A and B are shown apart, each in its own frame.
Chain A
């Protein structure tokens, strides 16, 4: 290899090391049953294209009890291409009572096991906050958005000066009111979607590219 070629290769390696932009690592957060895993699965369905899913979904809270990461999800929107590492996190909560699971028909043993795993999942989700480049905060449009979980996640992103995108999910439900969410947190961008039905996803991907691209 002549001198010029060797110089080119070395320069290219150094340049890539210094300036190559790796995919941002984005956490999907929210209270239990807001639709975080449904949104994650929808993203994979739209952009990975295979049968791959992030996790199972259930009407019983705390179905996701371990954070799951999917690297290198490439999203193309409006002529922009972004690559993201997506982390689907367990639902954040300040209380977990195993009796709530028993009311859903689970046995005493199953409920206590789920409760213990759910507490561990919340701890894992909180710890992930230190390692993210941004957060998608999923809220249920049929619920009051002024929950402590929402306030704490938004506060943490603002304190860290990291980008945040609020997703007002479940707009397919008749009592959904995404306007209340916008009114509650006007300082952050908000996109109304139904991750289950695939409604509003184009606007979501545009906002995603704008916030994290």
Chain B
């Protein structure tokens, strides 16, 4: 059977890794053509690092980058949230090769994507 490998990665697996390990793991898996769904995504600094390392990995006709989508953080409207500017927890994130994963629609609570078998 031919198809696309979809890995659903638990929070437990990701949380055991250091930031650099997470980024390396994601890039390596995505370059193999896998789609990753992270139960709890990366923190904003890790997301920025992932963008940076993705750019270093881009090669013409080999790897054009990643498609990554996560939900925006919910604003904490409570008094304590406003005072302490509490950082919201990370949310589900989907990451895949840019030439195989295309976001169709995204809003605050829905990510709709198309996965293509052809590169």
Contacts and interface: CB of A to CB of B under 8 A. Distances in A.
A155 B43 contact: yes
A155 B70 CA distance: 11
Interface of A: 92-98, 112, 115, 119-120, 122-123, 126-127, 129, 144, 146-148, 150-152, 154-156, 158-159, 161, 184-187
A151 B51 contact: no
Q: Indicate the size class of the contact surface on chain B.
A: 20 to 34
Given A94-B68, A155-B73, A123 B44 contact: no
Interface in B46-92: 47-49, 51-52, 54-56, 58, 60, 64-73, 75, 85, 87
A123 B73 contact: no
Given A98-B60, A184-B108, 14 more contacts: A95-B66, A95-B67, A122-B51, A122-B55, A126-B48, A126-B49, A146-B106, A155-B44, A155-B73, A158-B44, A158-B85, A158-B87, A184-B72, A184-B107
A40 B65 CA distance: 28
Nearest to B82: A187
Contacts of B99: 97
The A interface is mostly helix, strand or loop, or mixed, namely: helix
Interface-central residue, B51, B52, B73, B75, by most chain A CB under 10 Å: B51
Contacts of A92: 51
Contacts, number: 92
Nearest to A149: B51
A159 B90 CA distance: 12
Contacts of B66: 94-95
B98 interface: yes
A151 B70 CA distance: 8
Contacts of A123: 52, 55-56
Contacts of B43: 155, 159
Given A112-B60, A126-B52, A95 B72 contact: no
A93 B56 CA distance: 12
Contact of A120 (B47, B55, B67): B55
14 contacts: A93-B65, A94-B66, A95-B54, A97-B98, A122-B51, A126-B49, A144-B105, A146-B108, A148-B47, A151-B47, A158-B44, A158-B87, A159-B44, A161-B85
In the complex, the 9 A-B pairs of residues with the closest C-beta atoms, listed nearest first: A95-B65, A155-B44, A95-B98, A187-B75, A97-B64, A119-B55, A146-B106, A156-B44, A152-B47
A115 B55 CA distance: 10
A97 B119 CA distance: 13
A115 B67 contact: no
Contacts of B58: 95-96, 115, 119
A155 B72 CA distance: 8
